[in-house]
Amino acid sequence: MDLPVADPGTERGEGPLLQCPYCDSEAMHKLAQLLLPGLAAVCVDGTTGDLFRKPSVVAVDLRKEMVDYVMQRSDTFIADALIESEANQETENEMLEDPFEIVSIFMDDFSSTKRNIIGHVSGWLLSDNREDKIDDFVQEMEMTRFWPLDRREAIAEVLLKNVDIKTKFQCPEKYENEERLADHKEQCSFRPVTCPNDGCRAKVSVRCMDAHDAACPFKVLQCEQNCDKHLLRRDMDRHCVTVCPMRPMKCPFGCDSSFAERDLEKHCLEFLQAHLLTVLKVIHKKGRSEEELKDLAQKLEKYDEHGKLAKALDARPLTNAVKDLEAKMKGESSS
């Protein structure tokens, strides 16, 4: 499928003046993201109930038809909108200005022309089954790179410029010669630059760089839980939940304390007597008073020459260590 090329020439109605070709990269990317689910909806609605055709079979033809349709609609959008606005001056109807809403309407209009009988049923259009099938086909096209993002962005750039009626998402500057235009382009706030974060290949408008940097998955950041690690934003959640020594945890022995994971050993040493008492109450469920168990806990800690009790970091190893020490103490006492 041939890609449309944005017209770098003159702006509408400005004669020989040369229009700056740059536009808002974030808006262009967002618009490109609409095209794939839009195509998926057309393919799913057009083949629902058809035993001989699947969405993937019709996708190539419908992609070309959809692109041709939305491009044609966008080419005349501003002129048509201005004519309609003048005709409806006495009404309160507001002119559409949001490029994403406008292109979505174009795609919905195209989709309605391709729906079969089942596809026109309101129950189907609102069903979860339809949404699931659309999501599945979007994933299938992404996995097979059926319509790569860079090709969608080339189309989105043209659409954005065609429907940006208030010139919010493209540079409005224009010049009478190439030399002045070139000077402007070097400093234009819409000019694309490559993200400086290693591994990120995104090209972003200068004016959008702060917003991109604030969300870039390749940005290296200090750990959110203030450990000494520096890692990529995309790895932050996994690090904080799985391996960060500062991740919060509750005492494994059931006391009310909570602390950073790296302080577990310190906590177990500090509250050894309380943990021993908890374990002893389970081991000696009957026959021992609270005071007797406290006394036994103190004896076990004194008898523990190698510090095995303090090294036990949860109930099971502490229980085993207590049983071993009690057996040794009993053996020595009997001998």
Mean pLDDT of the 137-153 span: 95
328 contacts 285 by C-beta, under 8 angstroms: no
d(CA 40, CA 48): 12
44 contacts 133 by C-beta, under 8 angstroms: yes
pLDDT single digits (tens) 179-200: 999 999 999 999 999 999 999 9
pLDDT single digits (tens) 86-101: 766 654 456 788 999 9
Mean pLDDT, the chain, integer: 87
What are the φ/ψ torsions at residue 175 (nearest 5 degrees)? -140, 160
d(CA 142, CA 275): 53
Mean pLDDT of the 27-36 span: 95
The encoded tokens of residue 206 equal 């200068």
pLDDT single digits (tens) 73-88: 999 998 887 777 776 6
Do you know the residue count of the chain? Answer: 335
Lowest mean pLDDT among 3-7, 108-112, 296-300, 325-329: 3-7
More confident residue, 314 or 50: 314
Quick one: CA dihedral 232, 238, 239, 240, positive or negative? positive
Give which of 202, 189, 45, 49 is closest to 111, Cα–Cα: 45
Confidence band (pLDDT; 50, 70, 90) for 65?
Answer: very high
27 contacts 211 by C-beta, under 8 angstroms: no
Quick one: CA dihedral 314, 317, 321, 327, positive or negative? positive
The encoded tokens of residue 1 equal 């499928």
Confidence (pLDDT) at 125: 63
Mean pLDDT of the 153-171 span: 94
d(CA 87, CA 269): 82
Q: Which residue has the tokens 């002119």?
A: 95
Percent of the chain clearing pLDDT 70 (strictly above): 88
DSSP 58: H
Q: Which residue has the tokens 């950041």?
A: 221
Confidence (pLDDT) at 8: 47
Lowest mean pLDDT among 29-33, 114-118, 130-134, 241-245: 114-118
d(CA 101, CA 165): 13
Indicate the pairing of strand 248-250 with strand 258-260.
antiparallel
CB atoms within 10 A of CB 8: 10
Confidence (pLDDT) at 334: 66
CB burial readout 308-326, b (16+ within 10 A) else e? ebbebeeeeebbebbeebb
Decide: pTM greater than 0.75.
no
